Structure 1
Amino acid sequence: MPAHQRVRGLLLASHAGPTAVVTCLAAALLLALDAPAATAATATAAVLAGQLSIGWSNDAVDADRDLAVARRDKPVVRGSVTPRLLRAAAVVALGVCVVLSLLTGIRSGGVHVLAVAGGWAYNLGLKATIWSWLPYVVSFGLLPAFLVLALPGQAGPSSWVVAVGGLLGLGAHLANVLPDLHDDAATGIRGLPHRLGRRATSVLAPVVLLAAAALVVLAPRGPVGALEVLALVAAGVLSVAAGVVAVLRERSRLPFTVTMAVAVICVALLVAAGPDLLAR
């Protein structure tokens, strides 16, 4: 296998889209919080390494299931990477993540390592249980906590910021699983969305996303401006559209893409909130 094909396979197996979105949003939030350049660079690199490790471990663990249902969108099924290579890459990325996280501070680093551990726990078994939602809620909730704690002299984030992250994580989980419900059922995966069913999950996902957007608009101190209202309306329209698409097109990945768009809106609002993100 040519080296460039292995590199491309690793890129695809990293779940490149979500990895890039989460990393860029983390960087944007750090810049909005006026993080020192070294802190921003180290924390952003830690987030990137953590997301890479989660993505690669996911495809490594799911390799047999993906082969069983012929998931041609997966590099392992195409033959461009092997499960062994993915396992090695995931372990190396995890090690880099731990080192970079701890370089931001013991407390902040510990929080981020715990967040990444949640992603690994999902991959290693929780995805097949009724608790499949828990790692998403915990990990996405802890991510902004890590970013704030990495700042010099900060006690931590406001509680509502953690809640917004958790809601976005839950919405991402529900939307991400929708296209794979049939394949998952064929390979023994029975997470929360599978137990709720397609229709209930398709309704719940946009409700959760809209709740996250509403919280980030209403929680900060001060009056709600026209731009905040416009952002909330946009998030609502996107969330409802994701639910409709999920019902009408069972295997469409558009709902998850829309979830990422709502996350971008929420982070833009978080950036605008500025000092209100910090615990007082």
Structure 2
Amino acid sequence: MSTTVLGLVRASHPEPAAAVTAVAGLLAHGVGHRPAGVAAVALTVLASQLAVGWSNDHLDADRDAAVGRTDKPVATGAVSRRAVGLAARLAALATVLLAAAATNPAATLCVAVGLASALLYNWPLKSTPVSVLPYAVSFGALPAFVVLALPGAPTPPGWLLAAAALLGAGAHFANVLPDLADDARTGVRGLPHRLGAVGSRTAAAGLLLAATVTLVVGPPGPPSWAGLSALTAAAVAPPLTWYAERRGDAARVRGTAVFRAVMLVALIDVVLLVASGRVV
């Protein structure tokens, strides 16, 4: 594999891209998509995640270089800024084309709104007090797209959209934690930066717990034991992660552990939700 391809993979933010794509695929299976439908949903979501990740590294190239981000391939010269910018544009176009070819106008509009919201976070909303809003909108649009992509485009349940929006908001606070110091040096002042590390950790934990509660009590019928187990995991995982991360050596590594905990609980939530058959 060439250096450029490896650089593009690293610049795509592969961990969150893989996690969000897996969540979308599992959810597509849970709401009743056939294998071809699951594949179409997963490919569309993956393309949107690549577009967002590449756009982020393209726009932040100068900032990343200024603070010496050795984990960023554009900043280290492993891949050119132009290549990442072109890849982001192609992935954004592919997202809409895939959705239009494989789903319906309502689902296509929904995924386009989610993508536009995420790109608006990259610029200009990242440095504003409403930086959490694009995360809530884009994550909320994800299950809406998955459900609307079904034949007949059924109405997505409100509790599912609310849970996804809460999860997205929580992911925003967790995702920014590793970069608070670097962001401060380069003038980024989103909502997590204004709340600080303690406030952001608290917000991430509270929003994650609220998302899990919504997933457990939102569907018709009594909560399952599996759902209650997920609720326990959402309540316990963040404090345990914060305790464990104190033993780390680097602030970025410690903060990344919190984000990974959020993604892990999100995957557990979706698996249990799908297994319970209570999605739609």
Normalising by the smaller structure, the TM-score range is over 0.9
For 2:125, the equivalent position in structure 1 comes to: 126
SS of the residue corresponding to residue 70 of structure 1 reads coil
Give the CA deviation at 1:247. Answer: 7.2
* Whole-angstrom CA distance in 1 between matches of 2:104 and 2:153: 11
Q: Does 1:98 align with 2:100?
A: no
TM (norm. structure 2) is 0.94
Give the CA deviation at 1:197. Answer: 1.3
Q: Is the 8 A contact 1:70 1:77 kept in 2?
A: yes
Q: Does 1:260 align with 2:263?
A: yes
Unaligned runs of 5+ in 2: none
Unaligned runs of 5+ in 1: none
TM (norm. structure 1) is 0.94
Give the CA deviation at 1:244. Answer: 4.4
Q: 2:79 aligns with which of 78, 81, 89?
A: 81
Identity between Structure 1 and Structure 2 (%): 45
Residue identity opposite 1:33 in structure 2: V
Residue identity opposite 2:137 in structure 1: V
What's the CA shift string for 1:69-90, capped at 9, x where partnerless? 0001101122111110000000
Q: Is the 8 A contact 1:50 1:93 kept in 2?
A: yes
What's the CA shift string for 1:162-195, capped at 9, x where partnerless? 0110011011100010110110011110000001
Give the CA deviation at 1:262. Answer: 1.1
Residue identity opposite 1:269 in structure 2: L
Residue identity opposite 1:34 in structure 2: G
Q: Does 1:63 align with 2:68?
A: no
Structure 1, 200-209 or 143-152: larger mean CA deviation: 200-209
For 2:218, the equivalent position in structure 1 comes to: 219
Where in structure 2 are the equivalents of 1:1-280 lying within 5 Å? 4-103=2-101, 104-244=103-243, 250-251=251-252, 252=254, 253-274=256-277, 276-278=278-280
What's the CA shift string for 1:91-147, capped at 9, x where partnerless? 011111010112211111000011011110011110011111000000000100000
* Whole-angstrom CA distance in 2 between matches of 1:170 and 1:242: 19
* Whole-angstrom CA distance in 1 between matches of 2:246 and 2:158: 34
How many residue pairs end up in the alignment?
A: 275
Residue identity opposite 2:222 in structure 1: P
SS of the residue corresponding to residue 10 of structure 1 reads helix
* Whole-angstrom CA distance in 2 between matches of 1:237 and 1:4: 42
* Whole-angstrom CA distance in 1 between matches of 2:87 and 2:204: 32
Residue identity opposite 2:261 in structure 1: V
Runs of 4+ more than 4 Å apart: 243-249
Give the CA deviation at 1:269. Answer: 2.9
Give the CA deviation at 1:243. Answer: 4.5
Residue identity opposite 1:23 in structure 2: T
Tell me how large the CA RMSD over aligned residues is.
Answer: 1.6
